[in-house]
Amino acid sequence: MAFRLFVPILAGATLRERLLACIGATIGIALTGVISGIAMGGGQYVALLVAPMGASAVLLFAVPSSPLAQPWSIIGGNSISALVGVTVAHFVHDPVIASGLAVALAIAAMSFTRSLHPPGGAAALTAVLGGQAVISAGFLFPFVPVALNSTVLVTLGFLFHRLSRRNYPHVHVPATNSHGTADRPPAERAGFRPEDVDAALQALDETFDIDRDDIERLLRQVELQAMVRSHRPLLCRDIMSRDVISVPESAKPDAARKLLLDHNIRTLPVVDADDRLAGAVGLRELTGATDTVKGVMSRAGTALPETPAMGLLPESARAVVQPLARQAFVGGFSGVLWVAGLLGLLGAWVVGMLMRKPIPVVQQASIKPAHR
């Protein structure tokens, strides 16, 4: 597998986005450190105070569209959690119990105030375990430096994203009806509806780090891309299997039969000594065979990857009647073989007839080459 720098681990992530995140975090954390040093008088406690801000910077600059990275989440989440931590530390003196209780109550407080922010847990822990500097600050700690740092970081993030032409704060602008009526916009009248998204989220019963409106917007874009693709001619390459198993002409019937059963397929391509397609063989042909598959193989219909798939329907229909050619083999050169499955082809044709438009339907097995 080829090495790729900054391989995206998030949907939509690019090298440019990651580099911008690095630059933004560098500036943001540096300025936050300066303010922390001024507020706390410098010294050994400064790095500890900056730690929750570092986690906030990851969200703010790397995933600015996340609900967890919005201004209220950063400022409110960090400040409220720090306040919870200071309060817990004031009443609970055992550091172990206080730590767990502070994080748990911080999650509850952030959830009720709609300011859930993962670094808030670190802010609560800092308030409990921060040492003499935090104890000296007392209930001022959640405001200076935590709230102050968070506000500076968000302000810097706002300016940075504006300069880099990114949308922050991330606000979903719903489509409007240009006719001034109560109807939904024309683009949203067909396909799924908002209540379908809600039902799907409820059925999945999981929490996703993406705004519900963004899910709907993403799905509508997916619908559009699929519609654009489905209106072009359906080609063999759209439905063919690319990971193909095959047997040499000299293979024994038992070996071919085992491959068919192990991979749950109906037909095997038979290749010659130069790894070129020579024919096809299935279980029915192998019944009673005693020598090699070459003696019982049948002719295989061939087509190019660019061949319109619907043009193979007559050949595929004959293949159903004639068991010796159940699938249309799409041949290539340099030993590369492609198989367009009959089920995929007929499935695409049936769905296309029902929908009055060509819809590519892929039904192919994931199989490994047995012979190259």
What is the mean predicted confidence (pLDDT) over 187-200? 79
Q: Is residue 333 part of a domain?
A: yes
Domain edge (last residue) among 172, 205, 230: 230
Q: Are residues 148 and 200 in the same domain?
A: no
Mean of pLDDT over the chain = 76
**Are 146 and 123 a contacting pair, CB within 8 Å?**
yes
What's 269's domain CATH number? 3.10.580.10
Q: Are residues 208 and 314 in the same domain?
A: no
Q: Is residue 371 part of a domain?
A: no
Q: pLDDT (tens digit, 9 = 90+) per residue, 13-68?
A: 778 888 889 999 999 888 877 776 776 665 555 545 668 899 999 999 999 989 99
Asked if residue 336 has pLDDT above 70, the reply is no
Q: Is residue 173 part of a domain?
A: no
Q: What is the span of the domain harbouring residue 35?
A: 15-163
Asked if residue 251 has pLDDT above 50, the reply is yes
pLDDT value of position 83: 96
Per-residue pLDDT band for 360 (boundaries 50, 70, 90) equals very low
CA 290, chain centre distance (Å): 50
What is the pTM assigned to this prediction? Answer: 0.59
Per-residue pLDDT band for 230 (boundaries 50, 70, 90) equals confident
pLDDT value of position 339: 45
Asked if residue 193 has pLDDT above 60, the reply is yes
Q: Are residues 108 and 213 in the same domain?
A: no
Per-residue pLDDT band for 283 (boundaries 50, 70, 90) equals confident
Per-residue pLDDT band for 124 (boundaries 50, 70, 90) equals very high
Q: pLDDT (tens digit, 9 = 90+) per residue, 146-179?
A: 998 999 899 999 999 998 888 899 887 766 666 5
Q: Are residues 95 and 211 in the same domain?
A: no
Q: Are residues 27 and 159 in the same domain?
A: yes
Q: pLDDT (tens digit, 9 = 90+) per residue, 287-321?
A: 878 789 888 888 876 777 777 776 665 555 444 33
Q: Into how many domains does the chain fold?
A: 3
